[in-house]
């Protein structure tokens, strides 16, 4: 787990997107964390089970177990600071269980949208027979390897019904790219790095998002 910034105060717990998009946005997320540190805001970037340096195989993971792992990170961070969830893309689906002081989402996806992307990538890469529906992923006995990521039927079933956390009374802020017509608190210019085959970075966007996160946490902290 990477840690940035001061040892006390609010802590942004950053969740990378699931699967292949994590590789494409990791450098970008680290740039956001460094920019937060410059503004005096602490952050952590955990590898959840099935992600990055984790030794747990992704094939054994369900969304629920990853959410529980994120709850564990929140509980640990909560002993030293006040945790705020920062979710990038499908990373925004990982934070419903922890007692976060607030949630900040960038270009978040509902579980259904994640599954739609996965199905399309699986079809394009011939991981499943052409003409297959999402039930080829949900009903498969063995994990389906999609762009190098083994997705179990339990993970697929979890994802298909997964919703973004949005409960009254808990601060939530959503930021999207201005090319994304879905509703958001703010639309910003930038590049959808999660679509790029070669990992890339967008430092201007990272700085802009870090400023938005820092200002929003300051508002939540009152």
Among 15, 30, 28, CA closest to 195 = 28
Instruction: Mention every residue, 6+ apart, whose C-beta is less than 8 A from residue 114.
Output: 18, 90, 93, 159, 162
- Closest approach, Cβ 80 to other proteins, in A, equals 37
Pick between residue 47 and residue 113 the one whose CB is nearest to other proteins. Answer: 113
> How far, in Å, CA of 83 to CA of 127, rounded?
39
Cα dihedral 16, 66, 115, 172 sign: negative
For 175, the token pair is 């930021």
Contact set with other proteins (CB under 8 A): 116-117, 119-121, 123-126, 130-131, 147, 177-182, 189-192, 195-198, 200, 204
Residue closer to other proteins (CB basis): 54 or 132: 132
28: left (phi over 0), alpha (psi -120 to 50) or beta: alpha
- 8-state DSSP, 97: S
- The residue (of 132 and 140) whose beta carbon lies closer to other proteins is 132
Least gap, CB of 125 to other proteins (angstroms) = 6
Cα 91 from Cα 81, distance rounded (Å): 21
Q: How far is the CB of 45 from other proteins (least distance, A)?
A: 24
- Give the separation between CA 89 and CA 111, rounded to whole angstroms: 10
The residue among 48 and 138 lying less far from other proteins, judged by its C-beta, is 138
Compute how many other C-beta atoms are within 10 angstroms of the C-beta atom of residue 72: 15
- The CA distances from residue 1 to 15, 49, 62, 73, 77, in Å, are 11, 12, 20, 10, 12
Distance in Å, CB of 192 to other proteins, minimum: 5
By beta-carbon proximity to other proteins, the closer residue of 17 and 83 is 17
Residue 175 Cβ vs other proteins, minimum distance, rounded to whole Å: 14
Least Å distance, CB 126 to other proteins, is: 8
Q: Which is nearer to other proteins, 77 or 144 (CB)?
A: 144
């Amino acid at each position: 787990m990477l840690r940035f910034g001061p040892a006390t105060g609010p802590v942004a717990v950053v969740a990378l997107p699931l699967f292949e998009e994590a590789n494409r946005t990791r450098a970008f997320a680290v740039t956001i964390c460094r920019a937060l540190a410059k503004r005096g805001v602490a952050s952590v970037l955990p590898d959840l089970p099935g992600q990055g340096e984790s030794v747990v195989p992704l094939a054994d993971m369900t969304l629920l177990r990853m959410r529980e792992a994120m709850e564990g990170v929140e509980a640990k961070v909560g002993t030293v600071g006040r945790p705020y969830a920062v979710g990038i893309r499908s990373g925004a689906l990982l934070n419903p269980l922890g007692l976060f002081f607030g949630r900040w989402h960038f270009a978040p996806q509902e579980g259904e949208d994640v599954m739609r992307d996965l199905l399309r990538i699986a079809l394009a890469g011939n991981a499943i027979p052409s003409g297959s529906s999402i039930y080829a992923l949900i009903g498969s006995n063995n994990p389906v390897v999609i762009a190098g990521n083994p997705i179990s039927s339990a993970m697929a079933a979890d994802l298909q019904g997964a919703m973004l956390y949005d409960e009254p009374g808990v601060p939530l802020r959503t930021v999207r790219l201005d090319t994304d017509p879905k509703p958001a608190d703010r639309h910003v210019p930038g590049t959808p790095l999660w679509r790029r085959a070669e990992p890339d970075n967008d430092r201007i966007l990272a700085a802009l998002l870090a400023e938005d996160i820092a200002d929003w946490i300051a508002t939540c902290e009152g």
